[in-house]
Chains A and B, each alone.
Chain A
Amino acid sequence: MAGTGKAHLRRPEEVLLRVEDLVVEYPAPGRKVVHAVSGISFDVKAGETLGLVGESGCGKTTTGKALLQLLSVTSGSVVLDGTDLTGLSPRDMRRARTDLQMIFQDPISSLNPRRKIGDIVAEPLQVWGPHSEVEQVRMVDEMLEAVGMDPVQARGRRPHEFSGGQCQRISIARSLVLGPRLLICDEPVSALDMSVQAQILNLLGDLKADYDLTLVFIAHDLAVIKNVSDRVAVMYLGKLCEVAGADDLYDHPAHPYTGVLLNANPEPDPEAPLDLEIREAGELPSPIDPPSGCRFRTRCPYATEKCAAEEPMMRKVGDDHFVACHYPTL
């Protein structure tokens, strides 16, 4: 199956993470197959933040979990610093996970309610060492402090005693305590109160600088993605539509889908122009039976027969700006 092309990939020696032709499929009732991710490729340079944006069901969370091999990858490769993670034995993969970590959408459910915060943050150390208890406590305290929690107060408490924002801080501390190189953030702020989101976004920015992190940031919120990312990849129904630098993408969207997304984003500005046209409710195509050719064609205002017959390949439309569309809007 043809991917959406690799024109946007940089040289392998330049990047920390390189994902090629990643396919994740799983069975659905009735001998059908869900095409959750259908051959996407992307790369992330060390120290860069890649934003992965798309609507629900586009496969962005599946992609994040596939990077950590938390679900079985159908085909394709995930190369982290020269090692293909898809080829590792379960034991080697467990070891490799210390290099790439993940934080999850629901901060409260991602902490075991029956364990104390000190225990939760120390868990990675108890698995991988150092095993000295004094050393562990020191590292846990240092990490809790780095995420803005008071270690003395937090250590002995359980997750339900903290708010969503604080739980997300604890989650971040746990994911960083082993010193990973790549951090995958799956909707880390969408479950938080509005007034707390900025705290966590700023914190992630600071930690990224302090700990030389590389981030893959998955979200549905376009404004959040723009704020945190260096480079943004737009996903639709298991495929990549467009990849570009953050500012460039938002200033000059080349894929019609990116345009639709930007148009729909509610800006907190009463003077901003509003497109008030009402369209018919369309059936969203299902990942069980995705459209032929370009997957966005069923909702695309510019679609022609060519879009149904031929899948567009990723091609360059500007400086570090790539789009998989036959009729880019640039």
Chain B
Amino acid sequence: MADPTGLRSLQEDGQASALARSPAPFRVRVGRSLWNAFREMPWPTRACASWLVLIVTVAIFADWIPGLQDPNYQGFLFGKSKTLDPPSMEHWLGTDNVSRDILARVVHGARTSLIFAGGVLLCGLVFGGLLGSAAGFLRGRFEAVVMFYVDVSLAFPALVFFLFAITMLNTRGLGIMTVAVALLIIAPYTRIARANSLSVSDREFVTAARAIGTSRPRILVREIIPNVYPTLVAYSLIVAAVLVILEATLSFLGIGVPIPRASWGGDINMARRDIAINVWPMIPPILALVATILSVNVVSDWLRSNAASRSSAL
């Protein structure tokens, strides 16, 4: 059937993916409707979406990109290149103050951001989403316990917790940073999921399911959760932008990923030290960071306004 907006099928199919039983034709449909959605975007949005696709792709395949240098290879140690080289055929974006290839640093920095944001979001979506959905539907003591956890967690000073964790464990790294922030993100996800679950539980189709004699776990899985997740996914887009900034900030402050690992924030910090000598190495990671945040926000705004017009038509 002709899909007048394209987005409609994007929404429907996108959300059903967890439940889809026949993956092969399904994947084809998702691909096509994403493409339709892309074609409908105005060109600035389209540019932003393209940037996101590009950054995610290179982050995933960083190790396999032909010709891309090792981000930690310091050419000057072997007399191959100098520090603070300007862009050249050999180093498209030049080299930094310890003569590492800046392009490789930016690409691998994207990978760090992606792992961090992805890990945290996944954790929030899975644990927060499930806890919140169950709390809103089951109510009673379970809800009370979950919400108590949420309130305590939200009252917790997050930065203090994070510093405490890295001090106690005496280690820094992408893993510990992801886990620490993930633990903190569960609470807001739980809260949003519960609010949605409460309103979904009041809808008549849930009463209808009860009237059929469906068991409560089954209602939770079949009726509640599929209707709670779209909101969580929309929320995740906003959170994603914040997480990318957070990773850069922590690394910039020197409490994020440890030194040789590539990170936009860490590299900006490195470049900052030699800013009086050469500004250039600072610019690519800053541009990458700004472009990514802007793109996430522009694309999520577009999705939200288009999804809103769709749901009002329902």
* Given contacts A102-B208, A123-B209, A174-B208, A114 and B214 within 8 Å (CB-CB): no
Query: 0/1 per residue, B6-22, Cβ < 8 Å to A?
Result: 00000010011000000
Do most interface residues of chain B lie in helix, strand or loop, or is the interface mixed? Answer: helix
- Complex: how many Å from CA A101 to CA B210? 10
Contacts of A158 in B (CB 8 A): 12
- Complex: how many Å from CA A127 to CA B219? 11
- Shortest C-beta distance, B312 to chain A (Å), equals 12
- Complex: how many Å from CA A69 to CA B123? 38
| A111 within 8 Å of B (CB atoms) | yes
Interface contact B222-A115, CB-CB below 8 Å: yes
| Residue in B12, B16, B205, B227 whose Cβ sees the most chain A Cβ within 10 Å | B205
**B208 touches which of A113, A128, A171, A178 (Cβ 8 Å):** A171
Assign chain A's interface to a size class.
20 to 34
Query: 0/1 per residue, A106-131, Cβ < 8 Å to B?
Result: 10111111110000000110011000
Contacts of B223 in A (CB 8 A): 112
Interface contact B227-A112, CB-CB below 8 Å: yes
Q: Which parts of A51-87 form the interface with B (CB within 8 Å)? A: 65, 68, 70
| B203 within 8 Å of A (CB atoms) | yes
Interface contact A110-B227, CB-CB below 8 Å: no
Chain A: which residue is nearest B16 at the CB level? A114
Contacts of B169 in A (CB 8 A): none
- Shortest C-beta distance, A113 to chain B (Å), equals 7
Assign chain B's interface to a size class.
20 to 34
Q: Which parts of B203-257 form the interface with A (CB within 8 Å)? A: 203-205, 207-215, 218, 222-223, 226-227
**A104 touches which of B204, B215, B218, B226 (Cβ 8 Å):** B204
| A299 within 8 Å of B (CB atoms) | no
- How many A-B residue pairs lie within 8 Å, measured between CB atoms? 69
| Contact stretch, chosen from A2-10, A92-100, A137-145, A233-241 | A92-100
Contacts of B28 in A (CB 8 A): none
Contacts of A110 in B (CB 8 A): 204-205, 207-208
Interface contact B211-A112, CB-CB below 8 Å: no
- Complex: how many Å from CA A105 to CA B211? 14
Interface contact A160-B314, CB-CB below 8 Å: yes
Interface contact A109-B205, CB-CB below 8 Å: yes
Chain A: which residue is nearest B310 at the CB level? A160
Chain A: which residue is nearest B214 at the CB level? A127
Chain A: which residue is nearest B209 at the CB level? A123
Contacts of A113 in B (CB 8 A): 227, 314
Contacts of B207 in A (CB 8 A): 65, 70, 102, 104, 110
Contacts of A174 in B (CB 8 A): 208, 212
**B204 touches which of A97, A106, A127, A178 (Cβ 8 Å):** A106
Can you give 9 contacting A-B residue pairs, CB < 8 Å? A70-B210, A109-B203, A109-B204, A110-B207, A112-B222, A112-B227, A124-B213, A127-B212, A127-B218
When A and B form their complex, which 4 residue pairs have the shortest distance between CB atoms, in order from nearest? A97-B213, A110-B204, A94-B213, A114-B226
**11 extra interface residue pairs, beta carbon distance < 8 Å, beyond A97-B212, A104-B208:** A94-B215, A97-B213, A102-B208, A108-B314, A110-B208, A111-B205, A114-B16, A114-B226, A123-B214, A127-B212, A174-B208
B interface residues (Cβ-Cβ under 8 A, vs A): 12, 15-16, 203-205, 207-215, 218, 222-223, 226-227, 314
